[in-house]
Amino acid sequence: MSGVKIIKIKPEDDGIRLNRWFLREYPALSLSRLQKLLRTKQIKLDGKRAETSSRLTAGQELRLPPLDNEKAAPQTKTISTKDIEYITSMVIYKDKNIIVLSKPSGLAVQGGTNTTRHIDGLLEALKFELAEKPRLVHRIDKDTSGLLLLARNRQAAEMLTKAFREHTLQKTYLALVRGCPEKFESEINLPLEKVGERVQVLSDGKKALTRYKVLDNAGKKYALVAAEPLTGRTHQIRAHLEALGTPILGDDKYFGRERVRLSEVADKLYLHAYQIDLSSIYGKKMIITAPLPPHFQQACQFFGLEIKK
């Protein structure tokens, strides 16, 4: 076929997924057209059929049909000056490999139904001196505030993704809960499974383990709890603290028997991604802390709670 190209995969592209390679090299090529070209074997890896999820290996030969028209970059949405200032104001740490944001409660990490403003859509404003925008390597819930890590290059993205997947990074969350756990320091070992819109404790669910410690308490009414998820289940801390009988204040999904709204404090979720230990990645002590957002600080002051080690 006239115009067919054979491209040898470069060492720096070793390990990248095929669809990500095409997104970079042929940004105007739609996913549906890419899938059709793969399905009809017009794109091959070392002479064999490939999938969008195929991982490239340095030295492999990629056969391509004529795709010159797909090289043109698609139109990108212009980020307003206000949004640039908004996203850059969240940066609390930056080096050549990572950026750490302190995300406010109420801002989604990625887009979805009725969600047009999100972190993923603002990443172009965080390129700084580099040519490419940073990449998401994990997520936190829309209503959870605090630490969000971004990778500034592919190598860092792969390293951090692996660390999050294998749970080798110690993460600490702060939660303001209704009630106070009977044990001030313990582990919650209850299997979880998603049922509809909620995650529930089920005997045949997936293993879920959360270590917690009560940092301060206002009698039996409220407590400030530090929670470390030792596994990575969806809504793990929220579901576990509800199961303990101490749901997180302001939680619309995991609120125990009743959802309590207090006029004295902001009606928001009081769960904060507070601290992450990156020492295993950096080979030296490296702990990053996100300051408590104003609504969380004000609530702690109202209840007379402090972060006590």
Q: Please say whether the beta carbons of 13 and 21 come within 8 A.
A: yes
251 in active site = no
Residues paired with 194 in a beta bridge: 199
Closest CA to 229 of 180, 187, 265: 187
- β-strand pairing of 222-229 with 192-195: unpaired
Annotated catalytic residue within 46, 95, 141, 267: 141
- In single-letter form, the type of residue at position 131 comes to A
- Return the closest-CA partner of residue 140 out of 181, 172, 114: 172
Measured CA to CA in angstroms, residue 155 lies from 28, 97, 98, 121 at distances of: 25, 8, 11, 22
C-alpha–C-alpha distance, residues 66 and 217, integer Å: 66
Query: Half-sphere exposure of 149 toward its Cβ, with a 13 Å CA cutoff?
Result: 26
Residues designated catalytic: 141
